[in-house]
């Protein structure tokens, strides 16, 4: 555990910004001391990286919160977008650097402003935003989420982890067992009721993501025991292929 001041020094994010992220429910510390000081663990730092990634993509904070609260948030997809965007920014800076060096060496003899063009970066950022925010599921999720409080979102998160914990108690059963398949239906219904319409196609994709490593796998295995995420994935695939 490290303090908010240590997080600020490590990341370059101001203490005031970290306090604001906590206030709006974007990034909560792992715990508070008896004196009310914020303490952050590795999971919180990973989430902060994700937030800063979206900030590089120039997403508004409210959109970042909606996306990261969504049960189908895919960190690896976001990371690929970050890599692409940084590559475009690197090329842009190299063009500016070459222009500046040329001016220094031979002076300005040509009115060339192409190096200042950021249209590729802007276009990519818009496409990245659209890939997250222009689906019917996203808009349904946004509508269902906009009036919920931070506490209500935390309750939903706890309830969803409880569903995965229940899966963990079934790992000795075959994934096609009736009890396990009923639990898959419970998960699907919970997502539909609280986030967006979870079709079988979406559920299948979620199952693959649950077992794909990263935050989702760790959280599910923490709730239900090691191997739960993979078990849930296999049970979902059977359910969706019926």
**Using one digit for the tens of pLDDT, what is the confidence trace for 149-187?**
878 888 888 899 999 999 999 999 999 999 999 999 999
Pure H helices in the chain: 4-11, 15-23, 42-56, 61-69, 75-106, 119-133, 136-145, 150-168, 178-194, 200-210, 215-224, 228-240
Specify the residue for token string 């067992």: 177
**Residue 217: pLDDT band by 50, 70, 90 thresholds?**
confident
The burial class, CB within 10 Å (0-12 / 13-18 / 19+), for 61 is middle
**Residue 65: pLDDT band by 50, 70, 90 thresholds?**
confident
**Residue 72: pLDDT band by 50, 70, 90 thresholds?**
low
Supply 178's token pair. 């009736």
**Residue 125: pLDDT band by 50, 70, 90 thresholds?**
confident
DSSP state of 107: -
pLDDT at res. 174: 96
CA pair distance 99, 120, nearest whole angstrom: 18
**Residues in a beta bridge with 31:** 39
pLDDT digits (tens, 9 = 90+) for 4-58: 999 999 989 999 999 999 888 888 888 888 888 899 988 888 889 888 888 877 7
Q: Selecting from 3.10.20.30, 3.40.50.740, 1.10.490.50, 3.40.50.2000, what CATH number does the domain 146-240 have?
A: 1.10.490.50
pLDDT at res. 236: 95
pLDDT at res. 212: 75
Taking the model in full, what pTM does it have?
0.58
CA pair distance 139, 143, nearest whole angstrom: 6
Sheet containing 2-3, strands listed edge to edge, beginning at the edge strand earlier in sequence = 2-3, 38-40, 31-32
In this structure, which long-range contacts are made by residues 183-189, counting pairs with CB atoms below 8 Å and at least 24 apart in sequence? Answer: 183/235, 184/232, 184/235, 184/236, 184/239, 185/239, 187/163, 187/232, 187/236, 188/239
Nearest by Cα to 54 from 135, 125, 143, 138: 125
What is the domain class of 2-40 according to CATH?
mainly alpha
Q: What is the dihedral of CA 71, 220, 10, 13, to 10 degrees?
A: 20
């Amino acid at each position: 555990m490290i303090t908010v001041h240590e997080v600020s020094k490590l990341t370059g994010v101001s203490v005031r910004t970290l306090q604001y992220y906590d206030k709006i429910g974007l990034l909560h510390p792992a715990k508070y001391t008896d004196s009310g000081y914020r303490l952050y663990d590795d999971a919180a730092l990973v989430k902060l990286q994700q937030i800063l990634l979206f900030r590089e993509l120039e997403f508004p904070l409210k959109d970042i919160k909606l996306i990261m609260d969504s049960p189908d948030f895919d960190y690896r997809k976001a990371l690929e977008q970050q890599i692409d965007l940084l590559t475009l920014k690197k090329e842009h800076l190299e063009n500016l650097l070459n222009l500046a060096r040329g001016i220094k060496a031979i002076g300005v003899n040509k009115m060339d402003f192409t190096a200042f063009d950021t249209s590729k970066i802007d276009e990519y950022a818009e496409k990245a935003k659209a890939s997250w925010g222009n689906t019917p599921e996203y808009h349904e999720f946004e509508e269902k989420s906009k009036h919920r409080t931070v506490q209500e979102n935390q309750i939903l998160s706890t309830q969803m982890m409880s569903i995965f914990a229940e899966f963990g108690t079934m790992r000795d059963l075959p994934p096609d067992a009736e009890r396990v398949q009923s639990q898959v239906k419970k998960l699907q219904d919970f997502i539909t009721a609280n986030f967006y319409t979870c079709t079988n196609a979406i559920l299948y994709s979620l199952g693959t993501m649950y077992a794909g490593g990263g935050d989702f796998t760790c959280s599910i295995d923490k709730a239900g025991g090691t191997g739960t995420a993979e078990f849930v994935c296999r049970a979902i695939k059977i359910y969706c292929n019926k």
